[in-house]
Copies of this chain bind each other. A is one copy, B any other.
Amino acid sequence: MKRIKTGIPGMDEILHGGIPERNVVLLSGGPGTGKSIFSQQFLWNGLKMGEPGVYVAFEEHPVQVRQNMAGFGWDVREYEEKGLFAMVDAFTSGIGKSKEYEKYIVHDLTDVREFIDVLRQAVTDIGAKRVVVDSVTTLYINKPAMARSIVLQLKRVLAGLGCTSIFVSQISVGERGFGGPGVEHGVDGIIRLDLDEIDGELKRSLIVWKMRGTSHSMRRHPFDITDKGIRVHSDRVLKKKEEVVL
């Protein structure tokens, strides 16, 4: 089985070598946990390893996403020009100047079919090996009963195209699940990012809850966000003893 290396320091050790190819991984966390940084770092490291990637921007303006990535030293523009990276604009609906600059635009965000068509085009055009959808939650935020079928559709398309994908899942602070039962059971892997207040201090940690096709660390590992991105401490374990907060 081939593996896709995340290239995030410490993360591939935890995954016993990387994410099994074609897996769809739910990257689940509350606000401020580092989901976007994790997934952008995953894509950037792919570019450095010669694996083209697609980023679907639902939450931020594409221009802002590029700036955010550049802030970590991940300047994707040269890769875009070479046809090795593509941004799907699922934020502006093509309103404003973005339609002059963005090549892949989703015009009707409530139309899953249009979204999948645009995504498929971007993946095919650049021969993408890695895809990030940030966030998949937005696709069903106002129609939770559709969550399962939307995720399964996306998974079928992306696995069919040979991509290894990260679906960012936004959850609430203190929520125990990963984004709803239909979604959690439908994906191949789940990585959860946490930000917890322990004795008056915020602590970051992550845990791999499941990953089809590989064994993986069964422990909760602390991580940091630095100006170079995420660094996971694969050799350390965080034992959460949460306060009872209701």
Residues of A near any B CB (own CB < 8 A): 1, 30-32, 59, 61, 64, 68, 71, 91, 135, 137-138, 141-142, 145, 148, 152, 156, 159, 170-174, 176-178, 181-182, 184-186, 190, 195, 197, 199-203, 207, 209-210, 212-213, 215, 218-220, 227, 237-246
Contacts and interface: CB of A to CB of B under 8 A. Distances in A.
Per DSSP, chain A at the interface is loop
Contacts of A177: 172-174
Q: What are the 8 closest A-B residue pairs judged by CB atoms, nearest first?
A: A32-B210, A31-B184, A200-B239, A202-B218, A200-B220, A200-B237, A174-B176, A170-B185
A32 B190 contact: yes
A238 B200 CA distance: 6
B31 A209 contact: yes
B237 A185 contact: no
Contact of A182 (B141, B148, B190, B212): B141
Contacts of A1: 71
